[in-house]
Homo-oligomer: A and B are copies of this chain.
Amino acid sequence: MQNSFTEENYLKIIHALSGRDGVEVSTNALAESTSTRAASVTDMLRKLADKGLIHYKKYQGVTLTESGEKVAIKVIRKHRLWEVFLVEKLGFGWDEVHDIAEELEHVPSEVLVEKLDAFLGHPKFDPHGDPIPDAKGNLTEPDYLILTDVHVGEKVLMMGVLDHAPSFLQHLDRSGITLGAVIEVKEINEYDKSASVQINGGPTLFISLEVSKNLLVQRR
């Protein structure tokens, strides 16, 4: 049988909260992420367990089964491909596409996804630098650094963001920090861990720890 919009969202969120080592996700964490109450989460967990999509023992938290993982990854693939479409083809900003993709990701049709993928040229990353699972369901998270782990004097490439909030992305736009930008760390302030960074060999600017913590980068 088909999974509902709501079920797909639960699976996607369990995948995200479970992390790459597949740690148990708590009822309260899910209530928070789904903007529902813990009691509602418990109801849904029983249902997902009955469908064989999650491992669930009362009071012990949940993890995805193989089949639940498959569904979650398909939804993530669709979400990220639609985001590429919205930015590359329709001209949306990277700060505007998440909510729309949140709807498009639930449109069913295998062939639609595959034709969209081909139309976009089989992109490997979405507009936020997140990897796009392939048609077989393989999702490989690249191991990026967080900018806070970079030492003074190092030059790194901007590869992605941890915070996807429009306000954060707009802040990066205003600072000229885009995917692929070269970031050289010039100075780190002992007191508040704020930093001076030079973008693409051009302007130098100050960024707060809050910003550094949300930037994914890579040594060249």
Q: What separation, in Å, do the CA atoms of A103 and B108 have in the docked complex?
A: 8
- The interface residues of chain B lying within 8 Å CB-to-CB of A100 are 107, 109, 112
Does residue A92 face the partner (Cβ distance < 8 Å to B)?
yes
Give A219 Cβ to nearest chain B Cβ, in Å.
37
- The interface residues of chain B lying within 8 Å CB-to-CB of A107 are 100, 103-104, 107
Q: What separation, in Å, do the CA atoms of A107 and B90 have in the docked complex?
A: 15
* Identical copies in the complex: 2
Interface residues of A in 66-100 (CB under 8 A from B): 86, 89-92, 96, 99-100
Give A200 Cβ to nearest chain B Cβ, in Å.
29
Give A118 Cβ to nearest chain B Cβ, in Å.
8
Q: What separation, in Å, do the CA atoms of A86 and B108 have in the docked complex?
A: 14
Give A203 Cβ to nearest chain B Cβ, in Å.
31
Q: What separation, in Å, do the CA atoms of A109 and B92 have in the docked complex?
A: 12
Q: Are B103 and A115 in contact (CB under 8 A)?
A: no
Q: What separation, in Å, do the CA atoms of A210 and B85 have in the docked complex?
A: 41
Give A134 Cβ to nearest chain B Cβ, in Å.
19
Q: Are B112 and A90 in contact (CB under 8 A)?
A: yes
Q: What separation, in Å, do the CA atoms of A119 and B90 have in the docked complex?
A: 6
- The interface residues of chain B lying within 8 Å CB-to-CB of A177 are none
Does residue A116 face the partner (Cβ distance < 8 Å to B)?
yes
Q: What separation, in Å, do the CA atoms of A108 and B103 have in the docked complex?
A: 8
- The interface residues of chain B lying within 8 Å CB-to-CB of A86 are 112
Give A121 Cβ to nearest chain B Cβ, in Å.
13
Q: Are A91 and B103 in contact (CB under 8 A)?
A: no
In the complex, residue of chain B having the shortest beta-carbon distance to the beta carbon of A97: B112
Question: What are 10 A-B residue pairs whose CB atoms fall within 8 Å in the complex?
Answer: A86-B112, A89-B89, A90-B116, A90-B119, A91-B115, A96-B111, A99-B109, A100-B109, A103-B109, A104-B107
Q: A90-B116, A91-B119, A99-B109 are in contact. List 15 more A-B contacts (CB 8 A).
A: A86-B112, A89-B89, A89-B119, A90-B112, A90-B115, A91-B115, A96-B111, A100-B107, A100-B109, A100-B112, A103-B107, A103-B109, A104-B104, A104-B107, A107-B107
